[in-house]
Amino acid sequence: MNILILGGGGREHALAWAVMQNPKCDKLIVAPGNAGIAMIAECASLDILDGGAVVQFAEANAIDFVIVGPEAPLAAGVADDLRDAGFSVFGPSKEAARLEASKRFTKEICDAAGAPTAAWARFDAAEPAKAYLREQGAPIVVKADGLAAGKGVIVAETLDQALEAVDDMFGGEFGAAGAEVVIEEFMEGEEASFFVLCDGEVALPIGTAQDHKRVGEGDTGPNTGGMGAYSPAPVLTDEIAARALDEIVRPTLREMAARGTPYQGVLYAGLMIRDGAPRLVEYNVRFGDPECQVLMMRLGAQVLDLMHAAAEGRLDEARVNWADDHAMTVVMAAEGYPGAYEKGSEIRGLCDIAEDSFRMVFHAGTADSDGRIVASGGRVLSVTARGATLAEAAENAYGNVARIDWPQGFFRRDIGWRALERDEG
C-alpha cells in the first residue's frame, strides 16, 4: 500500500513510525511532515487544508490510503473530497467532524443519545448568557462553540471570571468560534482520555491515556497542547471503560448513523470520572497529541491494519493485541511556550539516542537546517518510552530526555505523578 499521512507534529511522527513497521506499507509520504519524520519517510510540502490539492497530490503519487492526523483538514472536509475522488481515508466527514468543531453540536448529540455529560445551555448574545451565569453561580465553564486551538474553554472559579469570559467571547477574542457560547455545569472528578476506532457502526477501543495540559509542574500555569502523557490511564478501569463504551460512545455512533452522518475514524472521548461513573467532557475527532505517541508505542504496526479496517467498514473482524505494558511521553518545549518563543535553536545529542520499539524521540516541531536539527515550534520533541510499569516507562523516557542537549528547551519533571502516586499508595 502507498500511504499518505496528513500533518506534521509529534502525533504524525508516531503514526508514521507505527505504519512504517507494517509490511503492508510499501511507500509512506507525510505532508508536510517535519525533520524527524523525514528520517523515516518522504515528506512533501502541501496545503493540507486544500481538498483539491490533496486529491491531486494523492492521484499523482498513486496513494492507496490516506490517514488524516489533525482536526483542521477534517473540519474543512478534506476527507470528503478524498473519498469522493475514490480514495480510502481514515478520518471522519466534515459533518461528523462537528463532534469536535462545534461544542453545541456535541451537546445536542449527547442529549439525543442519552449520553451522560454536563448540563448546558447555549447563547448567541452576551446579556442572556450573563443572566444565566448569575442564576447558576460559579464554578462554571464557558466555552466558545467553534474550534479555538484548545483555548476557547474557560473553567471559571468565580462568577466574575465567567462574566468576563462571556464578554471576551462575544467581543471577538476567539473570532467566529466565539459567535456562539456554550455554558456548562462544572464537573468534578479525574479526567482521562478514551480512544475508540469507529467504522460508522462498530466501535473498537484501542487504549486509554492521560495528559498534562498545564505548562507547569504540579499541573499549574497556563494551558498548553499537552506537556506529556501516559497510557494506560489507571483511573479508566476496564469496568469504567466498558461503561463509557456502552453509555457514551456507542449511543453517539448510533445517533450519528441515524442522522445519515456515520462516524468513521478515531473518536477521542475526554471523560470526567467520579465515583466510578464516566461523563463526557468533549469529543475530538483525531488522536490526541501527545496521547497518540504513547498509544502508538504500545500498539505498534498493527495500527495500520486497524485504521484501514475502520476506513473500509471491516472493524467487526478486527482484533487488538494489547501490549500489557505502560508508555510515557515527555514533551520538550521551547522556552516561553505557550507564550512567545524563539525558533531556530539547535538541538544536539539526538543521534546518540538508541531508538527501538521501546524508546523513540518523536519530533513535534523541528526542522533541518544544513544538517542540524533546530526547533521550529512551541512543542518540539516528544520523548517516549515503554516499560513493564509506569515507573519504568518514566525512567526510560526521562533517561533519554537527559541525553538531549538543548539549553533553550524545557520540560516538566513530573509527568505521570498522579498515576505514580496511585501505584505507590
219 lies in the binding site for ligand AMP (CB under 6 A): no
289 lies in the binding site for ligand GLY (CB under 6 A): yes
What does 211 bind: ligand GLY, ligand AMP, none (CB cut-off 5 to 8 Å by kind)? ligand GLY
The DSSP letter of residue 176 is: G
- Using the minimum distance from each CB to ligand AMP, give the nearer residue, 108 or 185: 185
d(CA 25, CA 301): 10
Given the C-alpha cell 515550534, which residue does it identify?
Answer: 377
What does 100 bind: ligand GLY, ligand AMP, none (CB cut-off 5 to 8 Å by kind)? none
* Closest CB 120 distance from ligand AMP, rounded Å: 8
Looking only at residues 203 through 232 of this chain, which bind ligand GLY when binding is defined by CB under 6 A? 211, 225-226
Contact by Cβ (8 Å): 182, 129:
no
365 lies in the binding site for ligand GLY (CB under 6 A): no
Amino acid in the structure at residue 33:
G
d(CA 152, CA 313): 34
70 lies in the binding site for ligand GLY (CB under 6 A): no
184 lies in the binding site for ligand AMP (CB under 6 A): yes
Q: Which residue, 256, 156, 153, is CA-closest to 203?
A: 256
Please give the C-alpha separations between residue 287 and each of 61, 64, 307, 332, in angstroms, as whole numbers.
Answer: 25, 21, 12, 19
132 lies in the binding site for ligand AMP (CB under 6 A): no
Helix axes 10-20, 291-299, angle to 10 degrees: 10
115 lies in the binding site for ligand AMP (CB under 6 A): no
Cβ atoms within 10 A of the Cβ of 325, count? 17
What does 289 bind: ligand GLY, ligand AMP, none (CB cut-off 5 to 8 Å by kind)? ligand GLY
141 lies in the binding site for ligand AMP (CB under 6 A): yes
93 — phi, psi (to 5°)?
-65, 165
Counting Cβ atoms within 10 Å, is residue 425 exposed (0-12), middle (13-18) or buried (19+)? exposed
* Closest CB 136 distance from ligand GLY, rounded Å: 27
What does 186 bind: ligand AMP, ligand GLY, none (CB cut-off 5 to 8 Å by kind)? ligand AMP
d(CA 228, CA 412): 8
187 lies in the binding site for ligand AMP (CB under 6 A): yes
Stretch in the footprint of ligand AMP (CB under 6 A) among 166-174, 181-189, 196-204, 364-372: 181-189
What does 225 bind: ligand AMP, ligand GLY, none (CB cut-off 5 to 8 Å by kind)? ligand GLY
d(CA 212, CA 148): 19
Which positions touch ligand AMP (CB under 6 A)?
118, 141, 150, 153, 155, 184-187, 191, 270, 281-282
